[in-house]
A = this chain, B = another copy of it.
Amino acid sequence: VENGDSVALSTMFDAVHPADIAHLLEVIDGRSRKELLSLWKGGLDGEVLSELDENLREEVINSLAPSELVDAVRELDSDDVVNLVEDLGSEQQEAVLDALDASDRVAVEKALAYPEESAGRHMQVELVRAPQHWTVGEAIDFLRSDDNTLPDQFYHLILVDPRMKAVGYVTLGRILSTRRDVPLNDISEDSFRTFNVNQDVEEVANAINHYHMITAPVVDDDDRIVGVITIDDAMAFIEEEAEEDLMRLAGVGEGSLSDKVVDTTRQRFPWLAVNLVTAICASLVISMFESTITELVALAVLMPIVASMGGNAGTQSLTVAVRALATRDLTSSNVWRVIRREALVGLINGAIFAVVMGLIGAVWFGQPMLGVVIAVAMVINLVVAGLAGTMVPVVLEKIGVDPALASGAFVTTVTDVVGFFAFLGLAAAWLL
């Protein structure tokens, strides 16, 4: 199809879900992408744009004429428009805003005024309200009258009091299965709770997941309903958050396979630079014991084992702690218990590996005392790994630094330094 037949291409893409088109664009290489886009231009719609990866979206949007962009954006929900528009230059942003209906424009501009990761920025203003004193019958008549335009997708009626304060919600299923004379108030859902526009959108997403909600009502400072966060968006945030933790723990930052090589190199650089500094710290510890090593070169052979075991045990504790902090399973109420637990786990595993490694060390080099040294160093380092692996992320979270981002470097430094110091120090004291 890629030899110029743009009509065939359009017909083919019409039958494909926008998310699949976006995925295709992400997976193919840069040149094919350009050819495909120039061929298909007219058909590119807003849905595809909003499904695209952020970096790629910028590239695609820049390749569009302003009029094409405006056409593509017009039929989107308010939250998707905001999501597209927030990354644009002010000129393109203006062009898109001008093309919207007055009411949509106001909604988008309002949303852009909220902080970047807030519920207000990501909410959809399309929702269906009903006065709380209505009965099921009144609600059905309202929904079925021709006078109002309903959103494309909605699953709840949100009940409001006379001052537009959100007070509850009712699922459409419940409305359909209830007699006409029952007040809406009597069949509203237990899980109802509201979220402030300024609240972090990830908190809202976590609440949607935790309470099995389908829509989360967003209210302003006067408790008036102004929008909703829907479960499908919440799902995307939850996935993003877990992925972010994963990437940050590995020192990768944001980024995807469709980024340019230069960008990827730049994303990975900082973590490697930090690692270089911590590795040099560890080397400084080793250099303190140069003369010890010269006398007994077996120490140089065995020392990476102690450090590496400590590093791994530290990463284990650290990963569990970072995830538990993110899911609020680790709080100030149980932090001491968790730290004690991790130290104990380190002690038990440390003791087991101490015996194993002590025997290996003693047999390999024929020096029982060398076995004792590596065994004791192993226990010390694994206990320290458990302690540092938990305490570092907790302290970082407390002082407002993202634990997923910074913990790894600290914990590895601790386990490297302690590992080398314990092993070489004990060797210097007991063996020579």
Contact = CB atoms under 8 A, between A and B. Distances in A.
A118 interface: no
A269 B352 contact: yes
A39 B313 CA distance: 39
A257 B150 contact: no
A239 interface: yes
A395 interface: no
Interface stretch (A57-65, A102-110, A240-248): A240-248
Given A252-B320, A265-B349, A320-B255, A305 B279 contact: yes
Given A257-B320, A261-B344, A140 B333 contact: no
- SS of A interface (majority): helix
Interface stretch (A1-9, A66-74, A196-204, A207-215): A207-215
Contacts of A143: 176-177
A397 to B, nearest CB: 15
Interface in A143-179: 143-144, 150-151, 153-155, 171-173, 176-177
Contacts of A302: 283
A300 to B, nearest CB: 4
A345 B304 contact: no
- The quantity of this chain's copies bound in the complex is 2
A398 B331 CA distance: 41
Identify which of A171, A235, A236 gathers the most chain B CB atoms within 10 Å of its CB.
A235
Given A209-B232, A282-B308, 9 more contacts: A19-B211, A27-B331, A27-B333, A235-B238, A250-B316, A250-B319, A276-B353, A286-B300, A293-B300
Interface of A: 17, 19-20, 23, 26-29, 140, 143-144, 150-151, 153-155, 171-173, 176-177, 190-191, 208-214, 231-232, 234-236, 238-239, 242-243, 245-247, 249-252, 255-257, 261, 264-265, 268-269, 271-273, 275-276, 278-280, 282-283, 286-287, 290, 293-294, 297-298, 300-305, 307-309, 312-313, 315-316, 318-320, 323-324, 328-331, 333-334, 337-338, 341, 344-345, 348-349, 352-353, 356-357, 360, 412, 416
